[in-house]
Amino acid sequence: MGNALQDQLLKSGLVNDKQLKKAQKEKRKESQQGAGKSGAGAEDRQRARQQATEKVQRDRELNRLRTEVSEQKAAAAQVKQLVEAHRVPIGEGEVPYKFADEGKVKTLHVTESVRQQIAHGRLAIVRSDGRYELVPSAVAEKIQARSAAHLILWNQSPLPVTESADDEYAAYVVPDDLIW
């Protein structure tokens, strides 16, 4: 028995036996090719799963990078806000205070009292928006916690140095505020 639709088309004269057999032959070929591709279909599904897991990993990495960038921007904004709120005016000093930044020696002209405060760690030098600003040590601690890259110079209290008995220069103390 053939297909009911095919039989009706044959009886009504819309198709002949030759066209009917050709259609059945094509249908058999398609079904055989589909059966042969079942192994390839499994490979395709495996490849699709692998691509999906790779995409998920890439998306996670991109999200992590975006999160890091946004955290860095937030930290930079907090540092800028701290510096703007607590900056100590440098003034028009005559004493040059030299410090190193990114391997280069930079100079700030400050007053003698400000130079002493920097040398004793009560003030710190911070870079904000391409400028050097002075901030109190309490603010320098907050800046260091958020973004240590902005903190250029902060003379914290030095760690105690262990003196050895045979050190011939032990009696000579190197001052913290040595001017270059």
Percent of the chain whose predicted confidence (pLDDT) is above 90: 14
Angstrom distance (rounded) from CA 118 to CA 64: 39
Angstrom distance (rounded) from CA 119 to CA 121: 6
Q: Is the pTM of the predicted complex or chain greater than 0.85?
A: no
pLDDT in tens, 83-136: 888 888 877 778 888 888 888 888 888 888 888 888 888 888 888 888 888 899
Residue 179 pLDDT level (bands cut at 50, 70, 90): low
What is the β-pairing status of strands 104-110 and 123-128? Answer: unpaired
**In the predicted model, is pLDDT for residue 180 greater than 80?**
no
**In the predicted model, is pLDDT for residue 12 greater than 60?**
yes
Q: Which two tokens stand for residue 105?
A: 């020696």
Among 57-61, 106-110, 161-165, 166-170, the minimum mean pLDDT is found in 161-165
| Side chain identity, residue 149 | A
Per-residue model confidence (pLDDT) at position 159 = 47
Q: Which two tokens stand for residue 50?
A: 């692998």
11-20, 26-35, 169-178, range with greatest mean pLDDT:
11-20
